[in-house]
Structure 1
């Protein structure tokens, strides 16, 4: 007997449904030993077979999330922050920050409204959303962690006056907040001003004690390409359009040189859009049936443009300035696209930069769904995290960390769901805090796979989804998903334990994380 003991943490649909709002990840201990099980159901751990190093997991500090947290009494604010950033919570290590307003804001705003101010002399952070709310919340999260989050910031749009669709006579979306491109002129003064805007933003946050690790060039730069049978998908919130060639040229000639000079330690992440735009022509047949049905019936005009190939190849590429590739999940899993991208550009990391459920009709019910489909949404999170990590992603970032019962606030009515919902109680100033299955799905990864962990090899041929890691603390972490309606018996075999095994049963519709010493 090796004497090794494994701890199994489990969350299942039956447990969650029976307690309605769930009651955490249930641990139990099991011993390694000489156990017999069908060889086809053995997960063979290969600690010497190492792949990518993990950067972490997290979510976005949107205006909506901040507003919902700060609406509660102080002790409940701390409860939510500890649930995400405390050592006994999900232990998040990554955070995303919108640069200016996005759909999950109450209003349109930017940091330089002064037209033709190319030197950005009037640049200033938003007093309410940045200075009074977001920065203090980030500092509280850092204090709970005991170390700073790895933060990346993403713009939804440049100030309207920098864009081709700007109209000084109009207000709201028609002023130029939605769509449009950066203006072009022979001196490139608008593009240089936009690059300077990034630098000013990074400096402003740094001066207030918040260090930002990376920026993405543009949130969903071609997001308006997606079409419904009735026409445009209906983006009515802050956005700006880039083609892959335009983003390449902006990074190579403006953003890259500016940040290299003024913020040389800040990484640049390209794309920040759908996985379908990486790796070349996607294999639509690889999609699960539920995804294929949605896309075949609701989305057309999706091109096969390979953004990494355009941006990172050639003498005029942005390869010397780009460190990573950001991907979203909304157009479907397409995990094989990540594998192909890594094979082509192994020196660039792949990071999942946004995902949520309950988004945009007609895909599903828009916003939270407290009566139906809650477990399915958690299962979708777990499956996507597993697939991304198995195909070279270094981390996974959720969208809003906290929303209200409607899935907002959102000034564009683009409501969605979140892992934690907060709802005011009618008989007091207290709030109901609901941890949904998505919260536990992320937690099965984020709680046990710290930054610096490395994905390791496992055996093939299993009927369940499995991924394994070796942590900096010399632990093996194995995450197992059973998305079927039947329980599954399997065993873990570790060659460092004289190939002794631990037999495990996973219920139907369940997640398990197994942790044991190396």
Structure 2
């Protein structure tokens, strides 16, 4: 008999709780059973992992607001594969994002000045909170992969003269490619290799209340093909280049980039704020050798907690993975009791962090996003191969992986309005039967 470990989330009062087979509601023989069948012979993408972002705000809250004991506990629960949920991907903003205490790049200058040699380039800002936390995370989980995405180039490189809005001036394409090299080299000196970069976060969105930069598909193709990739080759940098880094509703953008810079692009990065996850497969079908990554999705007040919000993360996470993604990365690792800090002038924030850190009381709260990520990250480990899983009931969503140690990880979600009886089958053999309540999530680790 295979060894089976089961974790269950059933409402806000019972989140990611280990269950013995005896604790699960048994299924009687005369009831209708939904069969979930795992086929390990049909394989798909290899997993890099799950995670969130050490934005300036998140890093400040964790590194400066929490006391040393709280910080150690949190970092362990986030990154330790045994004592915690083993997060294995972190996506860092390159400079300020909307979740930063002020607006900054790595080469800020007075108005009308330029620095084409990047003589004033510095990552000193990140050395205060972000880099120490990344180093600690990497020590807790040596399989951690670091991604990086800018919200804007330094203002002096742009048509707006500011990190707010505008486009990258053509005459600074090479300087901006040098800027990426300097960033990667500087982080490497701190023992932090950069696994992948994107040229621009949300390149089709140009808000005027936080750092942003419009970068149309044709400009991104040109930048990657003629400047960024050649610069990486020149400096012996093997960091992957992912294009797009925006919502599912514009697959035409990455398709355009890949048509012009196919050899220079390693994959596509996606967000969930528009469209649906099937767009990942549309582009994958057109460019089968390109990786798929999901690099940002935030929970927030626009979806009511608890059940609707928790269900959304689990449901969407399963679909992201079933549509070939090698990563599933949420947004802020931590926010405070006001969903901040945010850049000056941002206004009311409605986003939710993986944890909440109250700046007044210092209280640390693990949010629903932490427990939703746990259902995936705890058992689907880096290097796992997605294997086929099918359900005879349309409301029972599933995704399955075979880990490098040959254990099988299965995530199930009952998206229906009624409890359902489940039989989990590995190939033709029935492993376990149980009853799963409506809007409940179950993660199963099978040692065969």
| Structure 1 contact 35–501 (Cα < 8 Å) conserved | no
| Structure 1 contact 86–144 (Cα < 8 Å) conserved | yes
Residue 335 (structure 1) shift: 2.0
Corresponding position: 1:90 with 2:90: no
Q: Which runs of 5+ in 2 are unaligned?
A: none
- Matches of 2:305 and 2:108, distance apart in 1: 43
Report the equivalent of 1:27. Answer: 19
SS in 2 for 1:119: coil
Which of 228, 231, 255 is residue 309 of structure 1 equivalent to?
A: 255
SS in 2 for 1:29: coil
Report the equivalent of 1:473. Answer: 405
Cα deviation digits, residues 440-498 of structure 1 (max 9, x gap): 11110011000111111123432211111111111111100123332111101123xx6
| Structure 1 contact 6–30 (Cα < 8 Å) conserved | no
| Structure 2 contact 398–411 (Cα < 8 Å) conserved | yes
- Matches of 2:366 and 2:199, distance apart in 1: 32
Cα deviation digits, residues 301-338 of structure 1 (max 9, x gap): xxxxx12221112xxx2111110100000114x12211
- Matches of 2:347 and 2:68, distance apart in 1: 28
Cα deviation digits, residues 56-98 of structure 1 (max 9, x gap): 1111010111111121110001111111101221210000111
Report the equivalent of 1:421. Answer: 356
Q: Which runs of 5+ in 1 are unaligned?
A: 167-175, 225-233, 279-305, 366-371
Residue 39 (structure 1) shift: 7.5
Aligned length: 437
- Matches of 2:208 and 2:423, distance apart in 1: 48
Residue 30 (structure 1) shift: 6.2
- Matches of 2:440 and 2:354, distance apart in 1: 17
SS in 2 for 1:69: helix
- Matches of 1:387 and 1:500, distance apart in 2: 25
Report the equivalent of 1:268. Answer: 241
Which of 43, 47, 50 is residue 43 of structure 2 equivalent to?
A: 50
Instruction: Give the TM-score normalised by the residue count of structure 2.
Output: 0.93
- Matches of 2:198 and 2:278, distance apart in 1: 23
- Matches of 1:389 and 1:34, distance apart in 2: 29
Report the equivalent of 1:298. Answer: none
SS in 1 for 2:78: helix
| Structure 1 contact 378–436 (Cα < 8 Å) conserved | no
Instruction: Give the TM-score normalised by the residue count of structure 1.
Output: 0.80
Report the equivalent of 1:329. Answer: 272
Change in 2 beyond 3 A, CA 1:484/1:459: closer
Which of 342, 346, 349 is residue 288 of structure 2 equivalent to?
A: 346
SS in 2 for 1:492: strand
Which of 112, 123, 136 is residue 132 of structure 2 equivalent to?
A: 136
Matches within 5 A, 1:214-293: 214-224=196-206, 235-278=208-251
- Matches of 1:500 and 1:100, distance apart in 2: 51
Runs ≥4 residues deviating over 4 A = 33-40
SS in 1 for 2:87: coil
- Matches of 2:359 and 2:254, distance apart in 1: 45
- Matches of 2:59 and 2:144, distance apart in 1: 16
Aligned-residue Cα RMSD (Å) equals 2.1
Change in 2 beyond 3 A, CA 1:223/1:42: same
Which of 34, 53, 75 is residue 69 of structure 2 equivalent to?
A: 75
Residue 29 (structure 1) shift: 3.1
- Matches of 2:10 and 2:444, distance apart in 1: 15
| Structure 1 contact 25–440 (Cα < 8 Å) conserved | no
- Matches of 2:186 and 2:52, distance apart in 1: 22
- Matches of 2:67 and 2:199, distance apart in 1: 36
Residue 237 (structure 1) shift: 0.5
